[in-house]
Amino acid sequence: MRSGVRCMAAVSSMECVKGVKGVILDMCGVLYDSGEGGGIPIQGSIEAVKRLMDSGLILRFCTNETQNTREKFVQKLRRMGFDISVSDVFSPAPALMRILRERGLQPHLLVHDDLIPEFDGIEMNSPNCVVIGDAADRFSYENLNEAFRVLIGLKKPILFSLGQGRYYKETDGLKLDVGVFMKALEYACDVQAEVVGKPSPEFFQSVLRDMNLQPHEVVMVGDDLVNDVGGAQRCGIKGVQVRTGKYRPSDEDHPSVKADAYVDDLAAAVDAILTQKH
């Protein structure tokens, strides 16, 4: 199937996944919907993950979740019934920790309290960069001013943003995501943030290295057209969008990003991937 052609019948038009050796799955909106008590599995997704694991394909998970450490996040998924290991999950905070260490940077953190343990062991006494994640209620005027003052006081301001999402849905309504506050601080200090996590190419490439596969051998399945599908495609990975989670019908007419295929849900995506494999 050619990129840009809308796929009406999921399985038959998933030729784009023919011969893939590996699959990357987004998590929220693909495996589960977030909600009270942590979240609810999307119908058929627990079984679909199990079938992928049993198929011999190389499987990794890729999330922009930054309200929890990766360990706590995986525990939550396991409680829902997903048989997932921490080492198979890629999230922004551990990726950022590698960058901070490589570049010898000390962060000022504006992140969710529950994410802070990810930064254990890094020096923070003389911050020379600012890190923002999905801090939710911690995005107060006071905390934003504090992060701004650190940034504007640096000779060369460095701002890291863990993702660049606009908003997400919780049971009590839509919530502003980290990208909104990234844009705020970018404007305040006239800097451009370095995004860690999807859709950053470095983030997808680190997953590919771990899979030991070439981009064309891999398909990404996600509900976020820009960050999952578009991000993967920019690295040469196939991008399939599921019609669950934050999917909206208008995504299929997006001006700049076209998925290689659209499917109803993860179960349908796995049906197609396994059919094309045989």
Residues at the interface with a second copy (CB under 8 A): 136-142, 144-145, 148-149, 152, 166-167, 173-176, 179-181, 183-188, 190
> Measuring CA to CA, which residue among 222, 186, 235 is closest to residue 23?
222
- Closer residue to a second copy in complex, CB, 99/184: 184
What span, in angstroms and rounded, lies between the C-alpha atoms of 48 and 82? 10
| CB 112, min distance to a second copy, A | 12
Least separation in angstroms between CB 134 and a second copy: 11
CA distance 48 to 249: 24
Q: Which is nearer to a second copy, 147 or 268 (CB)?
A: 147
Q: How far separated are the first and last CA of the chain, in Å rounded?
A: 18
- Residues 65 and 110: beta-carbon distance below 8 Å: no
Distance CA 71, CA 109 (A): 19
Least CB distance to a second copy at residue 126 (A): 19
Residue 85 CB neighbours (<10 A): 9
Q: Which is nearer to a second copy, 1 or 191 (CB)?
A: 191
**Least Å distance between CB 197 and a second copy?**
17
Token pair listed for 10: 């999921």
List residues bridging with 159 in a β-sheet. Answer: 130
Nearer to a second copy, 1 or 184 (CB): 184
Nearest distance, CB of residue 193 and a second copy, angstroms: 12
Give whichever of 26 and 177 is closer to a second copy, judged by the CB atom.
177
